[in-house]
Amino acid sequence: MNINRLKEIREDKDYSQKDIAKILKTTQQQYSKYELGIQLIP
């Protein structure tokens, strides 16, 4: 998935990184790395 698309989808739904991190049971910092493409989503 295109990393830019992750952010677009999240913002379209009015979720914060913290909201998505909670859903994924990870930290906001970790989720931020996914959006920035620093780390791949497992």
Structural domain boundaries, residue 12: 1-21+30-42
Helix axes 17-24, 28-36, angle to 10 degrees: 110
Residue 4: its pLDDT value, please?
A: 86
pLDDT in tens, the chain (42 residues): 677 899 999 999 999 999 999 999 999 999 999 999 999 988
Using CA atoms, how far residue 32 sits from 2, 20, in Å, is 14, 10
**How many domains does the chain contain in total?**
1
Residue found under tokens 């677009």:
8
Residue 18 structure tokens: 């913290």
pTM for the predicted model, two decimal places = 0.84
Whether 7 and 35 have beta carbons less than 8 Å apart is answered as yes
Helix axes 3-12, 28-36, angle to 10 degrees: 120
